[in-house]
Amino acid sequence: MGRTILLILLLTAFISSTAACTGGCWLKADAVRTDPNTDCLALFGGHSASDPVVCGVPNLGGVNNCSDALTFPKRSATANAIVFAPGQAIDWWVPSQSVPPAIMVNQAGAGTTYVISATLGAQSITITIPVHD
pLDDT tens per residue, range 22-55: 445 779 999 999 999 999 999 999 999 999 999 8
Q: How far apart are CA 106 and CA 122, in angstroms?
A: 27
Q: With 80 as the cut, is the pLDDT of residue 67 above it? A: yes
* Count of domains observed in the chain: 1
16 within a domain of the structure (yes/no): no
Whole domain around residue 111: which residue ranges? 24-132
Q: With 50 as the cut, is the pLDDT of residue 17 above it? A: no
Note the pLDDT of residue 3: 62
Q: With 60 as the cut, is the pLDDT of residue 9 above it? A: no
103 within a domain of the structure (yes/no): yes
75 within a domain of the structure (yes/no): yes
**Do 84 and 50 form a contact (C-beta atoms < 8 A)?**
no
Confidence of residue 77 (pLDDT cuts 50, 70, 90): confident
18 within a domain of the structure (yes/no): no
Q: How far apart are CA 127 and CA 64, in angstroms?
A: 13
19 within a domain of the structure (yes/no): no
Q: How far apart are CA 89 and CA 62, in angstroms?
A: 6
Q: What percentage of the chain exceeds 90 in pLDDT?
A: 62
Provide Rg for the chain, Cα atoms: 19
86 within a domain of the structure (yes/no): yes
Q: With 50 as the cut, is the pLDDT of residue 93 above it? A: yes
44 within a domain of the structure (yes/no): yes
**Do 66 and 90 form a contact (C-beta atoms < 8 A)?**
no
Q: What is the pTM of this model?
A: 0.79
